[in-house]
Structure formats: structure tokens, C-alpha cells
Amino acid sequence: MLKKGDAARALERAVSTGGDFAEIFYEDTRKSRLSQTNAAIDTATTGRIHGAGLRVYKGLNSVYVYTNDTSAEGLLRLSERAAAAIGSEKRSDQKVELVGSIIKNIHDIRELPMDVSGVRRAAVVKDACRAAKSESEEIAQVTGTIFDWEQNVTIANTQGMFVNDRRVYSRLMIRAVASGNGENQTGMESPGAMMGFELFNTRVNVEKAAKAAAKRAITMLHADVCPAGVMPVVIDNGFGGVIFHEACGHSLEATSVAYGNSEFAGKLGQMIASPIVTAIDDGTLANEWGSENIDDEGNPTTKLVLIENGVLKNYMIDRLNARRMNMPVTGSGRRENYTYAPTSRMRNTYIAPGNHDEAEIIASCPDGLYAKVMGGGSVNPLTGEFNFAVGEGYLIKNGKIDRPVRGATLIGKGGEVLKKIDRVGKKMRMAQGMCGSSSGSVPTNVGQPMIRVTDITVGGR
């Protein structure tokens, strides 16, 4: 546990050479992973991450150092390294008075994963593998994995902040491989939440998730190759939200915007999307995968409207980039662990529900592609250009879903796609993922209702 006195002395030392702000991020995290492939448990690991990172500002210059020696002496050595790196100016000692704050916990945790026996944990992955395997003889391999971790943090800074927070995450990942005619296709489901082991009794139906992964693999095994061309595309809810997350969300983070490396830099108040599009980044949703009580800079988490009726309203801004942009922080500073300096990151990012019926959206497409599940991809935040694989896709013929196709990719620019959305469904669903950026990998939700884009370039054969 980080003591106030130790933290205050370290912060005072850190700004003793001219720094104007310093912050300590103290972390103690326990992690575990249990995995089964087919009928045998093959991985069971636990680990601990313990350490502290210290950051010092001098204007727009920033220095970040870290250590796993969190003793009083270790923190002082850490602060001396930061002070030496930020400058050599000597000035009178700055006194730091830390005031503890009680953070309201919006995430009810009923059963800590680390307190659950290995037998109960193994039963979950065994049930998942059994259910997926039973779906078809074409399922050649199934892997079920439980991940969970408990992260306890303390954040202190020279403005007097001293706050504690606990984050508990649980997740199930099921990977099914269907094999036939010399080919393999994979289906995955990976539900998770900021919850304890109760996740598997309340929110996640293990058998249903496992069967969904297996069915996807089988469907794609027998699918035709997707034809290429420019066509209308209907993107379903849940993982369909990865399109907004990657192609647009990253371009709204101050990490890009503050340096002008975003297609949306300088466009606050301008129409950047269809008027039926409202997009939100919300860290306040109870027990959601991307939620928090406070961000990794100690600021309260927020619900941030990014786009409202097509108009750009906000960027996601961390503390350092708030200085660069002369704008307030938005509670968006995040990091993987103490070895990373924080920066602006997404949390639960989604397109808000609209007014269109899902059946009408499909019927509105005489011919096109129905992307039921999105896969991985890449994006350039500066230009918004993206390329995403479709994990499960179907052709639409005469307003009806026709047949499954595989090998489809969606190619375009985020700013252009936002303006081409002409249908937004009523039912919004989110899906869980890990987002990587300069501050490491963090849990994020992606989500949207079903949407229709008037035309996208579809890569295929």
C-alpha cells in the first residue's frame, strides 16, 4: 500500500528541479489464466504486477519513470531520476499536502475470481469446450480460456490528489476450429465484464457462447468466397462497433488530435457524420468491460458525447494533451499498467440507438453485404483509411439474406463512412475487446445498433 507521507516526499523531490506537476501511479495487480484445448486443461497460470510509475511535467515536456521497488527509498530514487531528467533548475522546496478522497464504486463485485477454486474455474472451460465440440463432427478443435485480474491502484499528485481504486475483470474466450475438404475456419466468442466470477452465473451463458463460436466456424467453412465491388453494407450490432472504434474513435483521441495527426483535428462544431449518427464514449456504465470509477490519472470517469446528430462535440483528452490543446480533461487517461505513461483512450464507445427497424434495414438493400460479425483490421488516424476483415458475412439479394460468404474485407475512410450511414437500428449491443495504443493494451467495449452504409468498397474475389 502506498503511504501518503512516502508519496508526498517523492512528489516534492520530483519537482525540485523546475517541474510544475508530478504524479505517482501505484499498482498491485493479481492475474490468472486457465485454458483447456479439447478435453485437457493445458494452461494454468497466476501472476502479480507490482510497481509504481512517476511522471513529471515542465510545461509541455514530460518525463516518465517507473520501478517495482515501492519502498520509501525506492520512490525517492525514482523521483530523483525524474527530477534529473526534467531539468537542472534549483528552486525552493515545494510542499505537497495530500488529501485522501473516497471514490464512489459503481461496480458491484460479488465473488472475487482469485477466491474461486480451480475446480469451479475448470468446470466453466470444460462446459464451454464440451458445448462447442458437440455442435458438429466438423469441429476439429476447441479452446476455452478464463482470464481474470484484480487491479488495485493509488494515484497521488502535486495538486493534492490521493485516491484509491479497485478494478476486477473476468472474461471467457472460446475458439472453435471447423475443418473439412482440406480447409479450416475459426469462430470466436469472448464475453467479459468488470465483474467477478458471478459473470458466469448472471451475464454469460457459457453453453450459448460456445455454440455460437462453433456455428460461426461451421458456417464459414461452407461459405462461398465473397465477390468484390462497391456495394451497400449492413453492419450488425455488437462487434460491428469495431468499425467506429478503429476508423473514427482513434481519430478522436487527443493522442492524435493534439498533434494534428487526425482527420478530425480542428473540426469541433462541424458536421462530420450523417445527422442520424450520435456516438458516445462512456466510462460510467456499471460493470461494463471498458468502465472505470476513475481514470488512470485519478480523474472521475465521464459520459462523453463525441458526435451528436452528426456534429463533432468532443475529443477524448488526457491531462498532458489538455495542456497542449488548452481544453479540459475528460477522464480518458488510461494505461495498461505502471510501466506505461497514460494517454487518451476509449472506454465503452458506441453509436447510439436510432429509429429504424432491423428487418427494414435488411429489406432496404436490394443487393449488398450483411456483415454480422467484424474481425480485425487496421487504420491510419491521420487519413482515416481503414481495412477490416468480416468474421461472418452474408450476401443480400433482393432485400433478403441470401447465403454466407467468406474472405470479405471492408475498405474505406472513417470520415466518409460516417456520412454514408443512412439507417441506424433500435437495438444497441456491445462487445468486448482489448485496444492497443501507446499506453499499452486496455479493456474496451465496442458497440452499435445495426447500421446501413450506402456504399463501401468490399474486398473479396
Rounded Cα distance, 440 and 339, in Å: 9
Does pLDDT of 259 surpass 90?
Answer: yes
Rounded Cα distance, 427 and 345, in Å: 25
Which pLDDT does position 239 carry in this prediction? 81
Pairing state between β 343-344 and 348-351: unpaired
Which pLDDT does position 382 carry in this prediction? 84
The arithmetic mean of pLDDT across residues 326-355, rounded, is: 98
Parse the chain into domains and list their residue ranges: 4-32+45-101, 113-150+167-223, 229-459
Beta strands in 211-364 (DSSP E): 224-225, 229-235, 279-282, 303-308, 311-312, 333-334, 343-344, 348-351
Neighbour tally for 44: CB within 10 Å: 14
The closest alpha carbon to 242, from 142, 372, 136, belongs to 372
The arithmetic mean of pLDDT across residues 328-344, rounded, is: 98
Which pLDDT does position 100 carry in this prediction? 85
The arithmetic mean of pLDDT across residues 286-299, rounded, is: 97
The arithmetic mean of pLDDT across residues 125-140, rounded, is: 97
Which pLDDT does position 92 carry in this prediction? 60
Residue type, 124: V
Please enumerate in sequence order all residues whose Cβ is within 8 A of that of 402, keeping only pairs 6 or more positions apart, or say none: 394, 395, 396
The arithmetic mean of pLDDT across residues 1-19, rounded, is: 95
| Band of residue 224 on the pLDDT scale cut at 50, 70, 90 | very high
> Model confidence over 44-86: pLDDT tens digits?
999 999 999 999 999 999 999 999 999 999 999 999 999 999 9
Rounded Cα distance, 21 and 340, in Å: 18
Does pLDDT of 380 surpass 90?
Answer: no
Q: Which residue has the higher pLDDT, 39 or 64?
A: 64
Q: What are phi and psi of 340, to 5 degrees?
A: -120, 140
C-alpha neighbours within 13 Å on the C-beta side of residue 328: 7
Which pLDDT does position 219 carry in this prediction? 96
Neighbour tally for 451: CB within 10 Å: 29
Does pLDDT of 362 surpass 80?
Answer: yes
Alpha helix (H) residue ranges in 222-293? 242-244, 254-257
**Burial group, residue 359, by CB count within 10 angstroms (0-12, 13-18, 19+):** exposed
Q: Could you confirm whether domain 113-150+167-223 is CATH 3.40.50.10800?
A: no
| Band of residue 379 on the pLDDT scale cut at 50, 70, 90 | confident
| Band of residue 317 on the pLDDT scale cut at 50, 70, 90 | very high
Q: Which residue has the higher pLDDT, 254 or 384?
A: 254
Task: Give the three cell numbers for residue 404.
Answer: 454466407
Rounded Cα distance, 297 and 380, in Å: 27
Task: Give the three cell numbers for residue 94.
Answer: 515545494
The arithmetic mean of pLDDT across residues 167-173, rounded, is: 98
The arithmetic mean of pLDDT across residues 250-260, rounded, is: 95
Which pLDDT does position 88 carry in this prediction? 80
Rounded Cα distance, 382 and 23, in Å: 30
The arithmetic mean of pLDDT across residues 86-93, rounded, is: 77
Q: What are phi and psi of 144, to 5 degrees?
A: -120, 135
| Band of residue 377 on the pLDDT scale cut at 50, 70, 90 | confident
Which pLDDT does position 101 carry in this prediction? 84
At 441, is the secondary structure helix, strand, or coil?
strand
> Model confidence over 185-198: pLDDT tens digits?
999 999 999 999 99
- 60-69 b/e (C-beta count within 10 Å ≥ 16 → b): eebbbbbbee
Percent of the chain whose pLDDT exceeds 90: 90
- pTM comes to 0.95
> Taking each helix axis from N to C terminus, what angle separates 118-133 and 206-221, rounded to the nearest 10 degrees?
30
Alpha helix (H) residue ranges in 87-192? 118-133
Task: Give the length of the chain.
Answer: 461
